[in-house]
Amino acid sequence: MNGTTRTLLAAALVLGVAAGPSVVPATAGTASSTGSTTSPVSASSSTAALDAAIAGLPSTDATAALARVGGSEGVWHGTAGVHDLRTNRPADPGARFRAGSVTKVFTAAVALQLAAEGRLDLDRTARSYLPDLIPAAYDRVTVRQLLNHTHGIPAPDFPGTTVEEWYENRFVVHDPEDMVRSATAKRPEFAPGTRQHYLNIGYTVTGLLIEKVTGDSYEHQVAARVLRPLGLRDTYSPGTSPRIVGPHNHGYQTMKRADGTTGLRDVSVWNSTDGWAAGDIVSTTADLERFTRALFAGQVVRGPLLEEMFTLPDAPDFRSGAPAAYAVGLSMKKLGGREVWGKTGGRWGYNAAIASTRDGSRTLVYSVNATDAKGQDMNKVALNLMLATFGAPDRSAAPGA
């Protein structure tokens, strides 16, 4: 599918959700001075700990936070921080935000639906579907390996090496076919299936596979198969538009200024085509919570193929040698003595996550307007939300999303 057609279809989808409803408020909640809304949760995850996790915003780490804890163990909704640093008005709890790599869960769900229909074979090679795009050097890479990051395809090249340079290139439109060509022009990082290296490129190829086998755009397939059936009216793919449609809290990134000093720059307007099927979705915490509940309940991917999302490959991490932490779409951490599955995401100015116990008894969805959303360490506010919801990590746990 050519770039012009893809852009027009994506724009149509944006227009289709522009007037969608805002987040559903928490029941039996009370508002605090920070805009936080809460309702009782179980003793294993106290309201006080969750309130503390988002207290004091804006701070040097984040300017706003939206979070929802759900499941049979209790419910809590929290909002803190500001809509923007110019007006300092309270953050909008129903705001849309860039969900980053949480997009991969949507892409994986569509791919598994197509596999269930017999239109996509997880054990078939990507090159057999895209012979004119995938070169012979990658002729052994399977669809499953694309989805669980064991494919060995390196990352494509992008202009710039610093956040300041990337910011200068924020309006550049990246074509998915060109990104695949850039990546596959390099030598494989490892033989398919022998290592795991978390990169976006496997999901870029998967997006193109979805288009190939359906004869439709990736964006329309996600909308038709996931967004509309679940009523996710505030979730959409932005296409080539650099703006977030509808209400949103501004995102900021720490950068060097022209005079050599360091400060926060508003990065709310930024093209996300470099992420595409791996990281471009815009959503809300209410929509992502509904998606998480439906996914873990087997209402999005049905039958035995859902287990692909909870099956870690037998392949060590490419860099650390630790056991694999990523399945198809989801990753796993051991927190509070139990397995927690989910996915984090980061776009400049925005960190997001969905997480749940396997049985759905405790879920967490958050958006944190982090001031270094793509930094090496997990944002402190996001980390505190995760720990307050699920508990401390097991010492032997492998790194997660």
**pLDDT at residue number 381:** 97
SS3 call for 363:
strand
SS3 call for 371:
coil
Ranges of beta strands (E only) in 248-306 are 252-256, 262-266, 282-283
Which domains, and CATH codes, for the chain?
Answer: 3-118+236-390 (3.40.710.10)
**pLDDT at residue number 33:** 33
Residue bearing tokens 């300041």: 164
- Token duo for residue 382: 């996001």
pLDDT band at 132 (very low <50, low <70, confident <90, very high): very high
- pLDDT tens per residue, range 149-165: 999 999 999 999 999 99
Q: Indicate if the pLDDT at residue 18 is higher than 70.
A: no
What gap in Å lies between CA 127 and CA 196, rounded to an integer?
A: 20
- pLDDT tens per residue, range 207-254: 999 999 999 999 999 999 999 999 999 999 999 999 999 999 999 999
Global pTM exceeds 0.75: yes
- Residue 321: count other Cβ atoms within 10 Å of its Cβ: 8
pLDDT band at 40 (very low <50, low <70, confident <90, very high): low
Q: Indicate if the pLDDT at residue 19 is higher than 50.
A: no
From the list 248, 274, 265, the residue with the least C-alpha distance to 103 is 274
Sign of the CA dihedral running 267, 268, 272, 275: positive
Percent of residues, the chain, with pLDDT higher than 90: 84
Q: Which residue has the higher pLDDT, 39 or 50?
A: 50
**pLDDT at residue number 397:** 45
What gap in Å lies between CA 212 and CA 196, rounded to an integer?
A: 26
**pLDDT at residue number 46:** 78
What gap in Å lies between CA 297 and CA 315, rounded to an integer?
A: 28
What gap in Å lies between CA 302 and CA 49, rounded to an integer?
A: 35
Residue 7, φ and ψ in degrees, nearest 5: -65, -45
- pLDDT tens per residue, range 258-297: 888 999 999 999 999 999 999 999 999 999 999 999 999 9
Q: Indicate if the pLDDT at residue 39 is higher than 60.
A: no
Of 70-74, 197-201, 244-248, which range is least confident? 70-74
